[in-house]
């Protein structure tokens, strides 16, 4: 194995992760207090009939549905990739160097994945509430237009990746890399789909998730467009961490992110390489160097050297 070892409990990245989670949950508590006090609008989980405060059961159901959705995403991507390779025998997975694969998730990997699942629950709640409040988000079936559906979806991906690629580039600054993003790059040859995708430092995951909300605030759209953005974005981000050679000409290519995991100072975009090309960060795909299998002559020579008891 040539992957980096996991960090220790009291290392700076883990202390920063703990501070991130504690600070975020504190902010969530403050926001919930503000929601209870205001009367201009009602959170979607409040019983508007008698104005009762949110029910614990209702919030647990909401969180459980989001958690199940993430597990469904992992299962769909994993089974979809396997089905593709079984059905199309001529399809070849992207070359994979087993020496660069994180074979077993360490305890800190599982903790970060769990934290990020929890952050996703809060993010989807905040995004849902914001979508109900933003006047430029349309909900009616008679309000569908090309500009607030297909046009908005295209803008979503390109605007999101502008913020994501820039933030990703900053995370690779040497002074920040060890604190946050180095954890994700312990996996040099990703294969697990969504699990490898969300195995990142909680601070990084938090900023990346709420970047979606910023895009929705910026672009007039329909609620169906937001749902499509989350589903398609989740699938594409997961596929980035598989060996499926999927390409959408002019927009998306799994190989680009595979390059980033092997050459970290390149290809910072999540979906498109548009901004990487603009800023000079783009690097073309090249297959990884695979470990050489010993030739039959080498095996014979090694066996001849073996001592016979």
Q: Once rounded to an integer, what is the mean pLDDT over residues 231-256?
A: 95
Place of tokens 């398609």: 232
* pLDDT tens, residue by residue, 29-72: 888 777 766 655 666 656 555 555 555 666 788 888 998 999 99
Q: Kindly indicate the confidence band of residue 305, based on its pLDDT and cuts at 50, 70 and 90.
A: very low
Whether the Cβ atoms of residue 163 and residue 212 lie closer than 8 Å to each other: no
List the single range of 84-88, 151-155, 281-285 with lowest mean pLDDT: 84-88
Distances (CA, A) of 131 to 147, 189, 233, 266: 17, 37, 18, 34
Distance, CA of 30 to CA of 24 (rounded, Å): 10
Q: What are phi and psi of 221, to 5 degrees?
A: -160, 175
Q: Kindly indicate the confidence band of residue 288, based on its pLDDT and cuts at 50, 70 and 90.
A: confident
Return the pLDDT at 96.
Answer: 82
Q: Kindly indicate the confidence band of residue 266, based on its pLDDT and cuts at 50, 70 and 90.
A: very high
Q: Give the tokens for residue 26.
A: 């504190």
β-strands 221-222, 137-138 pairing: parallel
* pLDDT tens, residue by residue, 189-235: 999 999 999 999 999 999 999 999 999 999 999 999 999 999 999 99
Distances (CA, A) of 284 to 145, 250, 255, 276, 280: 37, 14, 9, 11, 12
β-strands 252-253, 247-248 pairing: antiparallel
* pLDDT tens, residue by residue, 111-144: 999 999 999 999 998 999 899 889 999 999 999 9
Q: Could you count the other beta carbons within 10 Å of the beta carbon of residue 209?
A: 18
DSSP symbol at 199: -
What is the CA 305 to chain-centroid distance, rounded?
Answer: 50
Task: State whether residue 101 is helix, strand or coil.
Answer: coil
Return the pLDDT at 306.
Answer: 41
Return the pLDDT at 51.
Answer: 53
Assess whether pLDDT exceeds 90 at residue 184.
yes
Return the pLDDT at 295.
Answer: 45
* pLDDT tens, residue by residue, 68-108: 999 999 999 999 999 999 898 888 889 888 888 888 999 99
Assess whether pLDDT exceeds 80 at residue 294.
no
Distance, CA of 71 to CA of 122 (rounded, Å): 16
Q: Could you count the other beta carbons within 10 Å of the beta carbon of residue 212?
A: 20
Return the pLDDT at 10.
Answer: 73
Percent of the chain with pLDDT over 90: 65
Compute the CA torsion angle 58, 68, 212, 136 (nearest 10 deg).
-50
Assess whether pLDDT exceeds 50 at residue 252.
yes
């Amino acid at each position: 194995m040539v992957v980096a070892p996991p960090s220790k409990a009291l290392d700076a990245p883990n202390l920063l992760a703990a501070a991130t989670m504690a600070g975020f949950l504190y902010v969530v508590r403050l926001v919930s207090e503000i929601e209870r006090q205001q009367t201009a609008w009602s959170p979607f989980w409040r019983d508007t009939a008698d104005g009762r405060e949110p029910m614990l059961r209702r919030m647990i159901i909401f969180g459980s549905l989001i958690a199940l959705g993430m597990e469904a995403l992992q299962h769909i991507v994993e089974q979809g990739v396997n089905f593709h390779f079984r059905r199309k025998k001529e399809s070849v997975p992207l070359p994979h160097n087993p020496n660069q694969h994180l074979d077993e998730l360490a305890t800190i990997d599982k903790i970060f994945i769990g934290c990020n699942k929890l952050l996703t629950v809060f993010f989807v709640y905040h995004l849902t509430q914001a979508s109900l409040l933003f006047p430029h988000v349309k909900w009616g079936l008679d309000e569908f237009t090309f500009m607030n559906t297909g046009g908005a979806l295209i803008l979503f991906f390109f605007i999101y990746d502008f913020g994501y690629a820039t933030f990703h580039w900053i995370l690779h600054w040497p002074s920040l890399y060890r604190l946050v993003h180095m954890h994700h790059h312990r996996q040099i040859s990703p294969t697990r789909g969504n699990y490898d995708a969300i195995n990142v430092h909680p601070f990084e995951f938090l900023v990346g998730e709420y970047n979606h909300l910023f895009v929705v605030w910026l672009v007039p759209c329909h609620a169906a467009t937001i749902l499509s953005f989350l589903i398609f974005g989740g699938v594409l981000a997961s596929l980035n961490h598989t060996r499926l050679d999927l390409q959408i000409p002019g927009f998306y290519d799994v190989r680009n992110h595979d390059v980033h995991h092997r050459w970290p100072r390149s290809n910072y975009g999540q979906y498109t390489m548009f901004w990487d090309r603009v800023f000079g960060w783009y690097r073309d795909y090249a297959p990884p160097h695979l470990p050489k299998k010993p030739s039959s002559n080498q095996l014979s020579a090694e066996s001849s050297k073996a001592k016979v008891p």
